[in-house]
Structure 1
Amino acid sequence: MEGDGILCLAVDILPTEFSKEASRHFGDILSQFIGTLASSKNIADLPSHLQRACIAHGGALTPLFEYIPRMRNSSSIDSSPNPDSAFQKKYNTLVSLSGHLFDQFLINDALDIIEANGGSFRLVKCEVGQSANVTSYSEVEVGADDLAILNRIIDSLSSVAHSRGKVGHRRKEELSLNVGEISDMAEDNGHSNQRPAILILGAGRVCRPAAEFLASAGSRSSHVLKKWQVSKFEEIEEFKVIVGSLYLKDAEETIEGIPNATAIQLDAMDNASLAKYIPEVQVVLSLLPPSFHTTVANACIEHKKHLVTASYVDDSMLKLDSKAKDAGVTILGEMGLDPGIDHMMAMKMIDQAHVRRGKIKAFNSYCCGLPSPAAANNPLAYKFSWNPAGAIRSGRNSATYKHSGEIIQVDGDGLYDSAVRYRLPDLPAFALEYLPNRNSLVYGDLYGISNEASTIFRATLRYEGFSEIMSTLAKIGLFDTEVHIMLNGDGKRPTFGAFLCELLKCPDTSNSQSQATLMGDAEMVKRIILLGHCKEASMALKTVKTIKFLGLHENKEIPGKCSSAFDVTCFLMEERLAYSSNEQDMVLLHHEIQVEYPDDDDRKPTEIHRATLLEFGRMENGRNVTSMALTVGIPAGIGALLLFQKKIHRTGVIRPLQPEVYEPALDILESYGLKVVETVEIS
């Protein structure tokens, strides 16, 4: 390690990751510089392109890269117990820089200006572009104890940004700069208890994405909203986020690692507890079960605070409409995925068609929460992230829709048998099927298309083959909710295998405790067909594979909490169809509408408009965040933000059906990475 020369660091894994030709290509290019580097002792002797590429020389960083420890030391303040006090400047502002900050060393100029003028800085956010065509983005909190000094720093930074962007400079050197409002630390500290806030009720899976979104939006370092904010909004007023749960520990876990968020213990069914906190905030976001919403809504109306929920607007909430209007309060319901994003996508498409004098002839909507293809690794190609009881019950609901002017009704017992195979035109790799989803006709009224649309259809998507298996399981009796005689009593509990034998009416039940365990696939298939539960052997075999995957044939005692076949099935599904820690879920929402235009229109008379949202779960900061939590929590958070910013003017109980809600909400969703892809086909 001592003496002159070049120290060459080799990453040995590269040759195993890249082809031999690629390794030779790298070596051939690098060899062109080796001679110059080996024969030069001083960095000044190197050609300019090598000087600029030289990060360290003589045991120290070269001048062009001295910004690295400066930025790292600044960033380390964030991990101190009190970063604001560590920054210790009276006047502060947030400066955002975008451009080729590092490869063109523009960041050096910015930091030099700050320090030369006697200011200090703290790195808040840094996103480095990964290619020559992608710019980098940095947010730097700049501070000074003298307002005149801070203004001078801002003027100097603005001059550099202007000079970099003027005609004659190469595009790749352009620097974009945005400066936030200047805050006075002394003034802020004197009014810290008056800082506005949004209260989130609940601490389930959906709450964390909502809390993260709102905490980011309510802080000075909100990069996600910058692009949208510049064109659509004035500067967002800072606010804090409060997460309340019946158990303080749950709220604390929800906000762990989220700056600008506070956890409190709050009983949402206790009026005194609600009265303590609701008057201190501007907006309440309830992510509690629907049964809590009426109580919370009444408290919000009493204290004249706006409310957002992601749940369906039921009759109990609708009854509060006049009361909310009289109080000047907005209760925004159905602000999640389905309902929520589905409303907003639909109304955007419908309103755009109506502006062009079009009429909606057909409206078809499909939505699902599924395992990602890689996680769909069981016979049902389906998994649950919570208790499966609700999902199984929904598969037994009746459905009503309109097709070509005819009202179609599907009985709950026949819902699975009504499934139809389906391929999305723009996502043909997904082998799917759809089932009618409850009463589609009400959406014709909500969207104002009942009189013009001959088809109004909403459906639930599943992977192909799901419904046939579920239909067979239902016919076997595995979804029956009545208390079963074998499970009613305090005596010795039957095994899963014995219970299955009872349902399959096995002829020899004397040794049924072990008979199902020993029964081969062919015997089970024979029993299922003999009982008339399905006609084809191939489908019976798929059902048997599902039964065995769930463990319904096993020689294990059924837990005492199971008193019905439904309980037994839910118990095993919750255990065997759960996501592992590294598996992702998937949300798919697709609208397709057929629009007919007047004959005198210069466009083609009929168009098919499609809008699709496809989102997968993410790994964020070491946490596996489900796509379902993202697509429910973030829209709900957006609703709270819009009410906080007074961008929604309608009062009473509303849904996100109006442009004042869906236009900014869809824009923010896209800024957050939840993009709806729209296409038009002319027929």
Structure 2
Amino acid sequence: MKKILIIGCGKSSTSLIDYLYNYCMSKNYIIQISDFDTKNLKFFTKKYPKIITKIFDVNDKKLREKIVINQSIVISMLPAKYHFLIAIECLKSNVNLVTASYISDELMKLDYEVKKKNLLFLNEVGLDPGLDHMSALKLISEIKSDNGKIKSFKSHCGGLIHPKYDNNPWNYKFTWNPRNVVLAAKGQAKFLRNNKIIQVNYPDVFNQTEKINIDQLGDFDSYANRDSLKYIKLYGLDEIDTMFRGTLRRKGFCESWEIIALLGLTDDEVYFDTFNKSYKDLILSQLFNKDNVIDLKKEIELKISRKISEETYNKLLWTELFTCNRRLKNEKMTLAQVIESLLVKKWNFEEKDKDMIVMQHDFEYLKNNRLLNKKSTLVVYGDENFSAMSKTVGLPLAIATKLILENKINYCGVKIPDIPMIYEPILKELEDHKINFKESVVEV
């Protein structure tokens, strides 16, 4: 009898668990979920009575060994830094592994041993990374098969608030890990534009955005992801002139977030004594060396040596970073931790709220001496049962797991879903779940 183990069952796991539970019940397979949080486990046992649960601490080596052995496949939904620990146990126990995360350098070093054991450690099979690869590769294959020569490829993806629940001036709420949002785009972004490699440092990445419009949704900004250049080879686009991969935010968000970054409020290195200090006192003293300011807008402009618009200033005021008198309870915090602790309240994703996933691929290619523009757009909304993020992360993972269990993927090693044998059946089945791309082609 086949056994499926899912390690980590937070918000993004709901669709994954629902799909695989129903699949296992139909096949008389065993499904087990493990998590450190007993509340998560109780939630799923109430909904899925035949599911097996086990409290799990990833730092417990003996427990890691014990939990993986005798499984047919393991899906790790833990933070990416823990995948390697799970992968080591899967390798020892001859168990296939699936994750939604980018392949780390240390995980890639296991490739030879994984191949030797004829195992598959399939990664990057969620939303981004995952659906972005699969849908892009399918389109690239179709364009090339139709004798098209791709000159430009831009890909954008974002987890956003559903328009009906968009009720703050930033047009944003935390639908995903808040810390990742606060620390986003640190480091250098690299992309190709008109045959020129562009390198952008933090936080300039927020003022060099791509402007895009999504039909019926309006205007968005897309800030560059860390390294778009490596996808040129991965996607087989050696003759391309422009290659850009970015993260979507509503128009105006990036302009305002850049100011927060320029002020140093996203610094996560230096710790300050924060106990019993108010947000206002801490931030004003650190930024302006003052307990109070008469003209906050002027002080901000002097600090960053730049004028800011009224719209941006109003966004900053709305955060209450400069005015909140609530007192911090932690002994020591970085400024990034401080603003995160306030923004989780201001950008709180409430029980009634729904989210939205938007992804768009934008190709320019030559065919029969004509320059064509092809756009492929995915919009998924959260509903009463599952968030859009849960659906677009969890369902590709679940379908990939099923394909591996049914021996429909003849692939081994540490891999991503970069071959038709994997991405075609996943994309096809996702259409049954109303996760499908709408395409348009126009002459430029």
TM above 0.5: yes
Report the counterpart of residue 619 of structure 1 in structure 2: 384
1:595 is aligned to 2:365: yes
Distance in 1 between the 2:129 and 2:69 partners?
Answer: 28
Q: Deviation of residue 261 (structure 1)?
A: 2.5
Superposed CA deviations along residues 442-490 of structure 1, whole A, max 9, x for unmatched, are 11111111x2111111111101111111112222332233436xx4377
Encode CA deviations 1:505-539: one digit per residue, 9 max, x unaligned.
37xx4xx2xx46xx5xxx22232234445314424
Distance 1:387 1:354 in 2: 37
SS at match of 1:478: coil
**Residues 248/564 of structure 1: CA separation in 2 closer, same or farther (3 Å cut):** closer
Whether the 8 Å CA contact 2:274–2:282 is kept in 1: the answer is no
The structure whose Rg is larger is 1
SS at 2:197 equivalent:
strand
How far apart in 2 are the matches of 1:574 and 1:479?
Answer: 14
Q: Does 1:495 align with 2:301?
A: no
Q: Letter of the aligned partner of 2:260 in structure 1?
A: L
1:441 aligned to 2:229?
yes
Aligned: 1:529 with 2:317: no
Are 2:190 and 2:226, in contact at CA under 8 Å, matched by a contact in 1? yes
Matched with 1:205 is 11
Equivalent-residue separation in structure 1 for 2:325 and 2:76 (angstroms): 44
Partner of 1:278: 68
1:128-153 CA-partner distances (Å, limit 9, x unpaired): xxxxxxxxxxxxxxxxxxxxxxxxxx
Say what the alpha-carbon RMSD is for the aligned residues.
2.3
User: Judging changes above 3 Å, is the alpha-carbon distance between structure 1 residues 545 and 336 closer, same or farther for their aligned structure 2 residues?
Assistant: closer
Pair 1:531–1:612, CA change in 2 (3 A): same
Partner residue of 1:638 out of 394, 399, 414 = 399
8 Å Cα contact 1:208-1:255 kept in structure 2: no
Q: Is the 8 A contact 1:344 1:656 kept in 2?
A: yes
Are residues 679 and 489 of structure 1, via their aligned partners in 2, closer, same or farther at CA, if it must alter by over 3 Å? closer
Q: Which letter does structure 1 place at the counterpart of 2:115?
A: K
SS in 1 for 2:183: helix
In structure 1, list runs of 5 or more residues that go unmatched: 1-194, 221-236
User: Partner of 2:75: helix, strand, or coil?
Assistant: strand
Is 1:610 matched up with 2:384?
Answer: no
Write out aligned runs for 1:141-290 (5 A): 195-220=1-26, 237-258=27-48, 260-290=50-80
Give the conservation status (yes or no) of the 8 Å contact 1:525–1:537. no
Q: Does 1:455 align with 2:242?
A: yes
Matches within 5 A, 1:9-48: none
C-alpha displacement at 1:547, in angstroms?
3.0
Question: CA 1:406–1:267 in 2, change beyond 3 Å: closer, same or farther?
Answer: same
- Residue 416 of structure 2 corresponds to which residue in structure 1? 655
Distance 1:410 1:489, change over 3 A: closer
Contact 1:525–1:544 at 8 Å: present in 2 too? no
Aligned partners of 2:81, 2:182: CA distance in 1, in Å? 20
Tell me, what secondary structure is at the counterpart of 2:326?
coil
- The equivalent residue for 2:341 is 571
Q: 1:247 to 1:557 in 2, by over 3 A?
A: closer
Q: Percent identity?
A: 28
Matched, 1:421 2:206: no
> 1:511-590 to 2 correspondence within 5 Å?
512=291, 515=292, 523-539=295-311, 542-590=312-360
1:529/1:537 contact within 8 Å kept:
no
Tell me the TM-score normalized by structure 2.
0.93
Q: Residue in 2 aligned with 1:332?
A: 122
Deviation at 1:285, TM superposition (A): 0.9
Q: Distance in 2 between matches of 1:559 and 1:565?
A: 14
Q: With a CA cutoff of 8 Å and minimum separation of 6, indicate the structure with the bigger relative contact order.
A: 2
Which consecutive unaligned segments of at least 5 residues does structure 2 have?
A: none
TM-score (norm 1): 0.61
Matched residue type, 1:209: S
3-state secondary structure, aligned to 2:379: strand
Work out whether residues 387 and 574 of structure 1, in 8 Å CA contact, stay in contact via their aligned partners in 2. Answer: no
- SS at 2:128 equivalent: coil
Is 1:432 aligned to residue 204 of structure 2?
Answer: no
Report the CA distance between 1:245 and its aligned residue: 2.0
Total equivalences in the alignment: 444
1:678 aligns with 2:432: no
- The structural deviation recorded for 1:312 is 0.3
